[in-house]
Structure 1
Amino acid sequence: MKKIFKFMLLPALVLPLLFTSCDDDRDSNPTLDLSHLSEGFVLNTPALAENNTYDLKSAKSLKLTCSQPNYGGIPYVVRYYVQVSIDPKFVSDPTATHTELATSYKTAEMEVNASEVNDAVVALFQAANPDTSVPEEMPIYIRLRAVLEITADSNLGETYSNVITLPSVKAAYEAPDAKFTDNLFLIGDGIQTSWESWKAIPQVYGLTGNYYGVIYMQAGGEFEWGTENNDYRGYNRLKEINDEAGAGITEGDEHKIKVANAGWYTLYFKGKITEDKKNIDWALTIYPTQVYLLGACMNQTCDPWVFDEAYALKAPADKNGKWESPAFLASAELRAAVKVGTLDWYTTEFTIYNGNLFWRRYNIVKSWAETEGEAYSVTTTVGQKLYIDFDNNTAEVK
């Protein structure tokens, strides 16, 4: 039966990472000899590692010992750095992904901070497996990098040990509870400045974790999304994708979201916090973009208001043009919204503030003027129209 050792909680059962003692017997030749660097030095797998589980979260430290590198027989001061990987290729491929711990050691017997190892293992796993919980147990791979400290050259005498395998290790990450951000962000081909601008898209009013945004994509264009700037997420970070617009969505290069057919698209992201409250599962639905005027400016008196094709804005040919509304039929407060699936119009309503689209965030009982203030209320004039640049989220009435 496999035993699990928790170093902090069960001191009597402490099972350190035990290696053979350091080989300190050297001859008296005082000449520095760097000809043996390629030979490396020995790091031994602990005898009990094969049938036991090491609990990094509970341990205070891990004891590592090694043979001192051969620098010609003189016991020079050597600094050792611990390198950790979860990739089995690290055993034979030094370029495989790994992390070097921040703390270094000056003796061949090292009390390595177990918390540092734990955090390195968790970070490596999360980077390789986004939105996936760290498994109960996993193998990890460790080696040492050694350098001499007799000169200012930090790489003098650099040499590496062999890689050892610990077949069963427990690492844990106490992540904060997942929460939704105020906006999501889009980046990609033709979105503002291609692959430079992060375009913010708002939450659906009244529906936490639901977001929507309008973009134009050229045929074959690609984009990514994120919960903040520089948070590059793609096709593989979505649990579900529904293409209701005939956009032809596929996975592109490096997991980007690829759009086969050119057009205006409304992206509707819906997030659901997982049962453990540590992650969010995301679904994306793509709709053809539809935008409408509503309310008194179009003599619409019914309650509730509805999307009416007679009051739909006309789409431009591409992102460089502006959406154009029908002429206003009355002098009243501007009310307009993006149609997103079956969502109610008021959940995706917007106005104009300082020349920019401003998305509804509060319950508007009577008017934008009453709820947000006069600066957020636009009065229409008969014969005028609404013009929108959805690429830059700017608008005007004229």
Structure 2
Amino acid sequence: MKQIVFKLMLLPAMVLPLLFTSCSDDNDSNPTLDLSHAADGFVLNTPAYAENNTYDLASANNLTLTCSQPNYGGIPYVVRYYVQVALDQKFLTDTTATHKELSTSYTTAKMAVDAAELNSTLVDMFLAANPDTSVPETMPVYVRLRAVIDGTADPYLGQSYSNIITLPSVKATYKAPDAKYPENLFVVGSSIQEAWKSWKPVAPVYGMAGNYYTMVYVPDGGTFKWGTYENDWRDFSRLAAVNDNAGAEFSEDGEGNLKVAHGGWFVLHFVGEMTADKKNINYSLNVYPGAAYIIGASAGGNWDDASAAWAMTAPADQTGEWVSPAFGGDGELRAYIKIPGLDWWRTEFTIFKGNCFWRNLNIIDSWAEAGDGYSVACAAGQKLYVNFDKNTAKVE
């Protein structure tokens, strides 16, 4: 028989009304809760259109289910219903077979079950049981309801189960989850920490989702790769663009690596753009000459962004330390890597337990707002020393 795919199921309702019964103050006719029949169960109706049609959950808003009310002595208490589903036919005769209960519950005997929640639950169940298999075009689904009396201290009071019905043809569609920006990016390469073994974290630019930055040294002919997590070996082709603002002359070396013709210290600024459907992130790389500065009290009270007088001096290669000018005054250390076009405080760092700590919070006045140990005191005449390869730092 030809199947018809319904994008929105409108099913006939067989609903018993939920009534509220008040207690009489002047006689002995007050209702009494009777749980003796709860174990007998109640009736979940098979939808009229279930037998010969397909439920397309990805296209529907809801799936309508109707049932009778459990027997609590003839008193129509408010009942909360939970939907349980299974993909294993064994569930029909063995209710201990694998099944899942949807998180959304209902308080009427006619319930519009959220199709999106049902769809994702069925997909997750199928993939958990069949990790190397695609979700089939359609599959049978077995459904029952669990009921309890609502609004009591005992969440299981009056627990009762319905019969199990079969929906012979249900279309559940896998939907890729929305992409999320990672906490960090990473780089690995011929001159980055331990060559081709260390995955150096690339810190997020403060307050700019999808932006990441780091400082690296790459010699003439040096190569590197990048990733969104450690051992995520992404190559040149995985970048939407490489914008070389440092005269490095980037190319692909035949093995997918980013190769630098003219070496030196570089600021790598990755920018991730979410696709319109939010399923993927496309990354571009902006490359700038390596630059770092001190600012504020240690710079003699100078708060000018990228002041040449307070630029740090780069070492010959990744084994050396960047050194600041002698501090021009006493006070708190404020330092940063410079990305042209961005405010200095977005790429600021302090020293925490001997390591560079990249700004990740809204600082109003001082690094002390981050907690103990984040604010570094400086004295006139001292200097800042940073190994940007290992991201270690000290003030002496």
Q: 1:355 to 1:4 in 2, by over 3 A?
A: farther
Q: 2:192 maps to which residue?
A: 191
- The residue identity in structure 1 corresponding to 2:206 is Y
Q: 1:276 to 1:295 in 2, by over 3 A?
A: same
Using the size of structure 1 for normalisation, the TM-score is 0.57
1:190 positional shift: 1.1
Q: 1:195 to 1:308 in 2, by over 3 A?
A: same
Identity %: 47
Q: 2:336 maps to which residue?
A: 337
Q: 1:10 to 1:336 in 2, by over 3 A?
A: same
Q: Separation in 2 of the partners of 1:275 and 1:356?
A: 38
Q: Which of 118, 127, 131 lines up with 2:134 in the alignment? A: 118
Q: Secondary structure at the match of 1:200?
A: strand
For residues 109-258 of structure 1, the aligned pairs below 5 Å read 116-118=132-134, 174-258=175-259
Q: 1:394 to 1:114 in 2, by over 3 A?
A: closer
Q: 2:294 maps to which residue?
A: 293
- Could you tell me which runs of 5 or more consecutive residues in structure 2 were left unpaired when the two chains were aligned: 6-48, 55-86, 88-128, 137-172
Q: 1:352 maps to which residue?
A: 351
1:275 positional shift: 0.8
Q: 1:12 to 1:190 in 2, by over 3 A?
A: same
Q: Secondary structure at the match of 2:393?
A: strand
For residues 1-398 of structure 1, the aligned pairs below 5 Å read 116-118=132-134, 174-302=175-303, 305-369=304-368, 371-398=369-396
1:116 positional shift: 4.7
Deviations 1:231-287 (A, max 9, x none): 111111111110000111011233211111110011000001111111001110000
- Could you tell me which runs of 5 or more consecutive residues in structure 1 were left unpaired when the two chains were aligned: 15-59, 61-112, 121-171
- The residue identity in structure 1 corresponding to 2:180 is K
Q: 1:353 to 1:242 in 2, by over 3 A?
A: same
C-alpha contact 2:336 2:348 (8 A) present in aligned 1: yes
Q: Secondary structure at the match of 1:375?
A: coil
Q: 1:118 to 1:203 in 2, by over 3 A?
A: same
Q: Separation in 1 of the partners of 2:194 and 2:217?
A: 13
- The residue identity in structure 2 corresponding to 1:277 is K
- The residue identity in structure 1 corresponding to 2:201 is A
1:374 positional shift: 3.4
- The residue identity in structure 2 corresponding to 1:308 is S
Q: 1:10 to 1:376 in 2, by over 3 A?
A: same
Q: 1:173 to 1:279 in 2, by over 3 A?
A: farther
C-alpha contact 2:3 2:52 (8 A) present in aligned 1: no
How many residues were matched structurally? 247
Q: Separation in 2 of the partners of 1:202 and 1:115?
A: 34
| Larger Cα-atom Rg | 2
Q: Secondary structure at the match of 1:310?
A: helix
1:11 positional shift: 9.4
Q: Separation in 1 of the partners of 2:373 and 2:3?
A: 65
Q: 1:382 to 1:115 in 2, by over 3 A?
A: closer
Q: Secondary structure at the match of 2:349?
A: strand
C-alpha contact 2:184 2:201 (8 A) present in aligned 1: yes
Q: 1:173 to 1:219 in 2, by over 3 A?
A: farther
Q: Separation in 2 of the partners of 1:342 and 1:234?
A: 27
Q: Secondary structure at the match of 2:297?
A: helix
Q: 1:260 to 1:174 in 2, by over 3 A?
A: same
Q: How big is the alpha-carbon RMSD for the aligned residues of Structure 1 and Structure 2?
A: 2.9
Q: Secondary structure at the match of 1:255?
A: coil
C-alpha contact 2:185 2:228 (8 A) present in aligned 1: yes
1:307 positional shift: 1.4
1:114 positional shift: 9.8
Deviations 1:155-189 (A, max 9, x none): xxxxxxxxxxxxxxxxx752111001111111111
Q: 1:239 to 1:328 in 2, by over 3 A?
A: same
Q: Separation in 2 of the partners of 1:333 and 1:10?
A: 71
Q: Separation in 2 of the partners of 1:254 and 1:178?
A: 28
Deviations 1:52-80 (A, max 9, x none): xxxxxxxx9xxxxxxxxxxxxxxxxxxxx
